[in-house]
């Protein structure tokens, strides 16, 4: 498994402070484009896969750092 492959914020757009400040002046309300899916089932599938992928990454990290006494 590649570490860092899965993430829990894949549905949200990454922005910086400048984009945040500029969005205050966006009166139309269409400033941000979020990641979308074709259907609800596809969105659920992506979310569940990423959630369990993050759990797997966390377990892999913990198990690899374990040192028996």
- 45-59 pLDDT, tens per residue? 988 988 899 999 999
Q: What stretches in the chain show pLDDT beneath 50?
A: 1-2
**Is 51 within the bounds of a domain?**
yes
**Is 4 within the bounds of a domain?**
no
**Is 60 within the bounds of a domain?**
yes
Q: Are 50 and 6 in contact (CB under 8 A)?
A: yes
Count of the separate structural domains present in the chain: 1
**Is 42 within the bounds of a domain?**
yes
**Is 2 within the bounds of a domain?**
no
**Is 26 within the bounds of a domain?**
yes
Residue 10: predicted pLDDT: 63
Residue 2: predicted pLDDT: 47
**Is 1 within the bounds of a domain?**
no
What number of other Cβ atoms are within 10 A of residue 47's Cβ? 14
List C-alpha distances in Å: 62 to 7, 32, 65, 67.
17, 36, 5, 10
Residue 33: predicted pLDDT: 65
34: tokens are 């979020």
Find the domain containing 28 and state its range: 17-65
């Amino acid at each position: 498994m590649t570490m860092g492959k899965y993430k829990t914020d894949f549905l949200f757009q990454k922005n910086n402070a400048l984009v945040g400040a500029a969005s205050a002046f966006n009166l139309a309300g269409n400033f941000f484009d979020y990641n979308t899916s074709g259907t609800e089932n596809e969105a659920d599938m992506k979310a569940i896969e990423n959630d369990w992928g993050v759990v797997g990454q966390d377990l892999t990290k913990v198990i690899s750092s374990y040192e028996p006494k």
